[in-house]
Amino acid sequence: MWRTGSTIRAEGIDTYEFLFDDRLQDLTFLYSVFTHMFSGDAARYLSEFSPVMRPGGCVLASTFIMDRGLISYLQSNGGEGRRALTFPHEVEEGVFHNDANLVSGPTAYSLDRIGAMVRSASLVPERFVRGRWRKDGEFDVNVHDLVILRKPAF
């Protein structure tokens, strides 16, 4: 999401504001943004997308999606990347950190948690594509999972 003359102003967690004209954006793309954000920050970012997007607009975001069945697999086999991505620390309901001492490090969200944040932001989850860090990855170009979201076209 970029437009000449526009900025993103961040004065604090509760005041993130995207200064774009309403209903002009067709596509918002985030690469490795939610993977390093606290859940409140990620929810606030998501809430800023809908007002500036055209009806039917799309959000494509890379992130890590954790599910309970994946935890034991990752812990026994290690993960992909520079640091083994196993996300053993559930720091709040549906929010997992890779390292308990590095809270700004890799973060994963359960499908339920990210789904709730998406719906609260007036967006619709359209597709989830598993990345190669998972045992069941289907997207070999990127380590992260991808989520595709839409603004309803009503």
Provide the residue-wise pLDDT of the chain in tens; the chain has 154 residues. 333 444 444 445 555 555 555 666 788 888 888 888 888 888 888 888 888 889 999 999 989 998 777 877 777 776 655 457 888 888 899 999 888 777 667 889 998 999 999 999 999 999 988 887 776 666 666 678 899 999 998 7
> How much is the pLDDT for 5?
45
- Is residue 149 exposed (0-12), middle (13-18) or buried (19+ Cβ within 10 Å)? buried
Tell me how far apart the alpha carbons of residues 53 and 121 are, in angstroms, rounded to a whole number: 12
Q: Round to whole Å and give the CA distance between 121 and 151.
A: 9
Predicted pLDDT at 58: 92
